Amino acid sequence: MTKSLKILELFAGVGGFRVGLEHADSDFFKTYWSNQFEPARKSQDAFQVYDYHYPETDNINTDITKIKDETFEKMDADLIVGGFPCQDYSVARSKKNEMGIQGKKGVLFWEIIRATRIIKPKYLILENVDRLLKAPSKQRGRDFSVMLASFNQLGYSVEWRVINAAEYGRRQRRRRVYFFVYRNDLPLAEQIDKNFENNSSLEEENRYDEYIFKKGLFARQFPIQQTPYKGRTAYYIFPEDIVETSNNFVGKVFNTGVMRHGRYFTIDTKPTGDEKPIPLKDTLQDENKVDDSFYVNDPEKIAKFAYLRGPKKLERTSSDGHKYNYAEGGMSPYEDLSLPSRTMLTSEGSVNRSTHWLKINDRYRLITPIEAERLQDFPDDWTKYKIVDGEVKEVTDRMRMFFMGNALVTTIIERIGKEITKIENSF
């Protein structure tokens, strides 16, 4: 029985992966190294929050591209985790500006591949926006397929699932794709191959059904309906050259799948619907504890939110002078407290259409940093303090909101961690 897994956390943010894994089993999951660096900011607030909570870790505040191979060689990590930068895939940017794996931050995926090639961990858990499966818009699925092909060349297999946290009992309708990557020489991989052999009478593209629906990590922790949604399935065999995959990919990628031995099988799936989400009303703080600064009394600001959330048809002019009509549907004038939260973005707290806008006791207000933390299943006030040059300082409310807009739902990672613990202890 393995006593613990040693972890390297890349693109660590304020420690979402670590929070989730330690909630799963703090004795089993031991983080020894982390890397967090924001090149566009002079102040490294996220790193400083992480360092405040975990001063005992080897926390590296350096551009990951500048971490030397020799540094990775000294890390004997069993597990690499990370929510690698998603700006190039995010729905918050227009398709005109999306650059996919060729984008400025999209290329940082190759640093995960570099670390994997050098360290050779047993497992990886990765997270990204679900739009990744359809990027770029002119060759849908290519970027994700290049990632799968890259892990295949290093001797790894990949299982993936798009998970909406609210569909599995959480507070936020946040859809993200999660990767579970495992090395092909592990007992787990051998066990999976035996399962495929047992299904050898089936057509090649259907041999993965039982694993995806019942036996896979995601199937066990995040149950799904036992038939493909609208019958959507796809099968793809990678060419030997990744460049050929990049240039000529014409396959399909659905929200669930597994890649083994240079081929993948993917299915469009739906959750069973057995887990009920937590409504927003059960996430909010007691109104007596909410500072007055979060209430909005300015009539102009209230009117601005009404306009932003309402339907609109506008004439716009493109960069080349072409005029076109832009239409945007309306949304509810304020949040429905009986429903789980909408997806939180990094713009949370600003005067923005995506900002959570509450009406409570006939008063309008924004959500608080603690409420934002709860939406991502972090402990209350997780982001309140940072360590700067040995001194403890408070983090601004705006930055705390930014952190949570960038973060992940930690309980999803907790459930993945619990399943990895079972896998490790079964061999």
More confident residue, 219 or 86: 219
- Residue 411: what are its φ and ψ, rounded to 5°? -70, -25
State pTM to two decimals.
0.93
For 323-353, the pLDDT digits (tens) are 888 888 999 999 999 999 999 999 999 999 9
Q: How far apart are CA 4 and CA 258, in angstroms?
A: 26
- Residue 236: what are its φ and ψ, rounded to 5°? -145, 135
Amino acid 48: pLDDT = 98
Count CB-CB contacts under 10 A for residue 385.
15
Catalytic residue among 24, 79, 81, 86: 86
Q: How far apart are CA 410 and CA 376, in angstroms?
A: 6
Mean pLDDT score of the chain: 92
Q: Specify whether 86 is catalytic.
A: yes
Closest CA to 133 of 255, 285, 3: 255
Residue 75 contacts residue 114 (beta carbons within 8 Å): no
As a whole number of Å, the end-to-end CA separation of the chain is: 7
Type of residue at 156: Y
**Position of tokens 């995040």?**
222
- The structural domains of the chain, with segments of one domain joined by +, span 5-170+174-275+409-425, 280-371
Give the mean model confidence (pLDDT) for residues 383-398: 97
More confident residue, 185 or 94: 185
Say how far residue 223 (Cα) sits from the centre of its chain. Answer: 19
Query: Which CATH number applies to 5-170+174-275+409-425: 3.40.50.300, 3.40.50.150, 3.20.20.80, 3.30.565.10?
Result: 3.40.50.150
Residue 33 contacts residue 11 (beta carbons within 8 Å): no
Confidence of residue 95 (pLDDT cuts 50, 70, 90): low
